[in-house]
Chain A
Amino acid sequence: MLKTLYPLLLPIEGVVEETKDIKTFRLPRPESFLYRPGQFAEVFVPGAGEAPFSISSSPTDMEYLEFSVKRLGAVTSALHRLGPGDFIGIRGPYGNGFPLEHFSGSHLLFVGGGIGLAPLRSLIRYVLHPSHRSSFGEVFILYGARTPRDLVFRRDLDALQERRDLTLCVTVDEGDASWEGQVGLVPRVLQDIFTFPPSGWKSIVCGPPIMIKFTIKALVEMGFVPGDIITTLEMKMKCGLGKCGRCNIGPYYVCKDGPVFSYEELLRMPEEY
Chain B
Amino acid sequence: MLSFDRGMVVSWEAFVRWLGHVRPFVTPLVRERLRVIPRDVLTPVTFKTLLFPPREHLYHYSFRERRWELCLEESSPEPAFLLLAPCEARALLDVLDRVFLEEPPTDAYYRRRRERLTFAVVGCTFFETTCFCTRVGGHPLLHRAEDLFLLPLSSGIYLEGFERKVIEGRPLALQDREETERIAASLESQAPSPFPSSLPEKLYGEFESREWESIAWPCLNCGACTFFCPTCFCFDLAVDGKLRGTMVRTWDSCMFPKFTLHASSHNPRGRKEQRVRQRVLHKFSYFPLRMGAFGCVGCGRCLKVCPVGWSIQEAVERMMCCAQDSLPASSPY
**Complex contact A47–B61 (CB within 8 A):** yes
How many residues of chain B have a CB within 8 Å of chain A? Answer: 57
**Complex contact B237–A234 (CB within 8 A):** no
Stretch of B39-47, B105-113, B117-125 contacting A (4+ beta carbons < 8 Å): B105-113
Kindly state whether residue A102 has any CB partner on chain B within 8 Å.
no
Select B252's contact among A7, A76, A246, beta carbons within 8 Å: A246
**Complex contact B263–A76 (CB within 8 A):** yes
Give min CB distance, B130 to chain A, whole Å. 24
CB-nearest residue of chain A relative to B291?
A251
Select A87's contact among B67, B234, B330, beta carbons within 8 Å: B67
**Complex contact B108–A2 (CB within 8 A):** yes
Give min CB distance, B274 to chain A, whole Å. 7
**Complex contact B233–A245 (CB within 8 A):** yes
Given contacts A1-B108, A47-B63, A243-B99, contact A236 B261 (CB under 8 A): yes
Chain A stretch 66-103: residues in CB contact (< 8 A) with chain B: 72-73, 75-76, 87, 89
A89 / chain B contacts, CB cutoff of 8 Å:
70
A24–B285 CA distance with the chains assembled, in angstroms = 40
**Complex contact A241–B105 (CB within 8 A):** yes
Kindly state whether residue A160 has any CB partner on chain B within 8 Å.
no
Q: Hey, what's the 0/1 contact readout for B262-306 against A, CB within 8 Å counting as 1?
A: 111010110000100010011001110110000000000000000
A234–B268 CA distance with the chains assembled, in angstroms = 11
Kindly state whether residue B59 has any CB partner on chain A within 8 Å.
yes
- Give how many A-B residue pairs fall within 8 Å (CB-CB): 125
Q: Hey, what's the 0/1 contact readout for A1-30 against B, CB within 8 Å counting as 1?
A: 111111101000000000000000000000
**Complex contact A244–B236 (CB within 8 A):** yes
Given contacts A47-B242, A243-B107, A272-B274, contact A252 B237 (CB under 8 A): no
Kindly state whether residue B72 has any CB partner on chain A within 8 Å.
yes
CB-nearest residue of chain A relative to B67?
A87
Interface residues of B, dominant DSSP: mixed
**Complex contact A251–B332 (CB within 8 A):** yes
B59 / chain A contacts, CB cutoff of 8 Å:
5-6
Q: Hey, what's the 0/1 contact readout for B100-140 against A, CB within 8 Å counting as 1?
A: 10010111110110000000000000000000000000000
**Complex contact A46–B68 (CB within 8 A):** yes
A50 / chain B contacts, CB cutoff of 8 Å:
237, 239, 247
Give min CB distance, A27 to chain B, whole Å. 14
A7–B236 CA distance with the chains assembled, in angstroms = 16
Give min CB distance, B235 to chain A, whole Å. 5
Chain B stretch 46-96: residues in CB contact (< 8 A) with chain A: 58-59, 61, 63, 67-68, 70, 72
Which 4 residue pairs of A and B lie closest in terms of their CB atoms, listed nearest first? A245-B234, A251-B286, A73-B263, A72-B263
Question: Can you list 19 A-B contacts with CB-CB less than 8 angstroms, sorted by A residue number?
Answer: A1-B108, A3-B108, A5-B59, A6-B72, A9-B68, A47-B245, A49-B239, A51-B263, A89-B70, A235-B268, A238-B235, A239-B237, A243-B103, A244-B234, A246-B259, A248-B286, A250-B286, A250-B332, A272-B274
